[in-house]
Amino acid sequence: MNKEYVDLYEYLIANHVGEDKAIHSKDLEKKFKICPRTVRTYVSNLRKSGVPVCSDETGYWIAAT
């Protein structure tokens, strides 16, 4: 897994487990200094790796169950 994906995964798992702790993509863009497309690419690759990243209009989070 790419280091950038690992950084994003580690951040999400430490701070955003469960829908009530969703983080908006704009906040991820600022935190990691990446563009919106890169956020979507990283999330897509995490999902392909089997990481349960969920999303809706409120943002991204790791599934709690």
Q: Is residue 62 packed enough to be buried (19+ CB in 10 Å), middle (13-18) or exposed (0-12)?
A: buried
The residues, ordered by sequence, that sit 6+ positions from 47 with a Cβ below 8 Å of its Cβ are 53
Q: Give alpha helix (H) positions in the chain.
A: 3-15, 25-32, 36-48
Q: Please, which pLDDT band fits residue 59 given cuts at 50, 70 and 90?
A: very high
pTM of the predicted structure, to 2 decimals: 0.91
2-51 confidence digits (pLDDT tens) = 787 899 999 999 999 999 999 999 999 999 999 999 999 999 999 999 99
Q: How far is CA 56 from the centre of its chain?
A: 12
